[in-house]
């Protein structure tokens, strides 16, 4: 996504961690994990929570994954011959079709925030990697000032919560998923935490 400003520094450590995890998921879902990403992932550790256990599982999977296998897995899941096993788009999850009303609504909301698709990006904006990137950007102020929690909640509830948890659950159990099954576990756990945190806020 094109950005209007560099991240601001007046963001709490907790929010930076949230943004880092959103960014990390965005990187993993935008393209196959390369050798450096796999090495970094293998060094992650988690605590005894749902999210922590999912991160530990991801680290273990990353430590035994090779880039060429990850490319094959990514292609089978998201690209395939004609289409991959999963279609990681809000429109598809919410309507059963691509490029439908959820994408138009999202584009309007992004435009209102002065967020635009980068010229070298051809994926529709409602793909899961972009949703993770936008959430991270809103938290740390990549598109201007950091978004207040109320605005983060509006965006999350409108564009992420209705479908991303289902997508990540499908990714966990996808037949072609190995490393990305663990990515699905991390994403699902993060969606559960965010949904509950926004509800309590």
Identify whether 168 is part of a domain: yes
Identify whether 2 is part of a domain: no
Identify whether 159 is part of a domain: yes
Q: Where are the alpha helices (DSSP H) in 64-100?
A: 67-78, 90-95
Identify whether 132 is part of a domain: yes
Identify whether 123 is part of a domain: yes
Q: What is the CATH number of the domain that holds 136?
A: 1.10.3480.10
pLDDT in tens, 68-85: 999 999 999 999 877 899
Q: State residue 5's pLDDT score.
A: 47
Identify whether 176 is part of a domain: yes
**Residue 107 belongs to domain spanning:** 13-200
Instruction: Quickly list DSSP for 115-153.
Output: -B--TT--S-TTBHHHHHHHHHHHHHTTTSSPPPHHHHH
Q: State residue 9's pLDDT score.
A: 54
Identify whether 8 is part of a domain: no
In the chain, the number of structural domains is 1
Cβ atoms 162, 194 nearer than 8 A: no
Strand partners, 2: 116
Give 192: exposed, middle or buried? Use CB within 10 Å, 0-12, 13-18, 19+: middle
* Tokens linked to 101: 């009303």
Of all residues in the chain, the percent with pLDDT exceeding 70 is: 96
Q: State residue 4's pLDDT score.
A: 47
pLDDT exceeds cutoff 70 at 6: no
pTM over 0.85: yes
pLDDT in tens, 104-130: 999 999 999 999 887 877 889 999 999
Per the model's pLDDT, the better-predicted residue between 177 and 80 turns out to be 177
Identify whether 4 is part of a domain: no
């Amino acid at each position: 996504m094109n950005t209007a400003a560099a991240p601001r520094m007046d963001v709490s450590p907790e929010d930076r961690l949230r943004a880092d995890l959103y960014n990390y998921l965005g990187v993993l879902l935008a393209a196959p994990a390369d050798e450096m990403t796999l090495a970094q992932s293998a060094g992650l550790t988690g605590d005894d929570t749902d999210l922590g256990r999912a991160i530990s599982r991801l680290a273990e999977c990353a430590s035994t994954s090779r880039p060429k296998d990850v490319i094959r897995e990514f292609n089978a899941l998201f690209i395939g011959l004609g289409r991959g096993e999963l279609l990681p788009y809000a429109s598809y999850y919410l309507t059963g079709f691509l490029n439908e009303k959820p994408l138009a609504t999202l584009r309007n909301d992004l435009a209102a925030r002065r967020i635009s698709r980068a010229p070298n990006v051809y994926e529709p904006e409602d793909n899961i990697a972009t949703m993770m990137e936008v959430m991270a950007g809103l938290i740390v102020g990549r598109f201007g000032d950091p978004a207040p929690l109320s605005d983060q909640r509006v965006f999350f509830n409108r564009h992420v919560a209705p479908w991303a948890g289902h997508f990540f659950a499908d990714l966990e159990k996808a037949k072609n998923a190995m490393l990305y099954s663990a990515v699905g576990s991390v994403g699902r756990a993060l969606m559960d935490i965010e949904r509950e945190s926004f509800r309590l806020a």
